[in-house]
Amino acid sequence: MSGVINGNQKCCGTCEYWTGTRKLNNVSEVKYEGPSAKCIGGGGNNTHVDAYGNCNQYKKWSKLQ
Ligand code: SF4
């Protein structure tokens, strides 16, 4: 499964701590692959989290504007 997420949406797929396969579609849009991947260093540390999950330790991915 893959998809596109607006960079302004606060969710794991646009978060600095998400380790899923993704790339920028453009400066404000993320294209990701796979429904879940590990969060490393954030609120879901060391667990698999869905690209559309979130938590209160969200930090915007540094590649996004
Ligand atoms: S669980 Fe929280 S810190 Fe981890 S990737 Fe998702 S929003 Fe980011």
Among protein residues, the one with the nearest Cα to ligand 1's atom 1 is 44
Structure confidence by residue, pLDDT tens digits, 13-56 = 999 999 999 999 999 999 999 878 999 999 999 999 999 999 99
Distance 64 CA to ligand 1 centre (A): 15
Query: Does the C-beta of 14 come closer than 6 Å to ligand 1?
Result: no
Higher-confidence residue of 22 and 1: namely 22
Mean pLDDT of 54-64: 97
Distance CA 3, CA 47 (A): 21
Distance 59 CA to ligand 1 centre (A): 8
Domain ranges across the chain: 2-50
* Residue 62, pLDDT score: 97
Q: Is residue 65 predicted with pLDDT exceeding 90?
A: no
Q: Enter the pTM of the model.
A: 0.95
